[in-house]
Copies of this chain bind each other. A is one copy, B any other.
Amino acid sequence: MLVGTVVGQVWATQKEATLEGLRLLVVQPYLRGGKETAETIVAVDPIGANVGEQVLVVYGRAARHAIGRGHDIGFQSAIVGIVDAMDFPNDAERT
């Protein structure tokens, strides 16, 4: 489970039937100290996050729960929260 920034969106017309109508966002994991990773995750967005927002991403059963279409679906990563604030007391860093 991680925090990341929504950087984009993916569209797929030809897809597994259970993905119909799901919003798929591309998330870049958060790194400490202003570093940036080139890696990305694709997550279903059931809560309406926007590009540029920091979000909480989960996998597996937790993601299927959040997607809300039962456990027989073809995806298992999802956005479960939009981050209001992150606080790093020992860094004097606040995002």
- Chain A residues packing against B (C-beta within 8 Å): 1-3, 7-16, 18-19, 24, 26, 28-33, 35, 37-43, 46-48, 51-52, 56, 58-66, 71-78, 80-91
Contact = CB atoms under 8 A, between A and B. Distances in A.
Given A24-B56, A62-B64, A74-B80, 5 more contacts: A1-B41, A8-B91, A33-B38, A61-B76, A65-B72
A76 B88 contact: no
Nearest to A14: B82
A32 B7 contact: yes
A17 to B, nearest CB: 9
A83 to B, nearest CB: 5
A65 B18 contact: yes
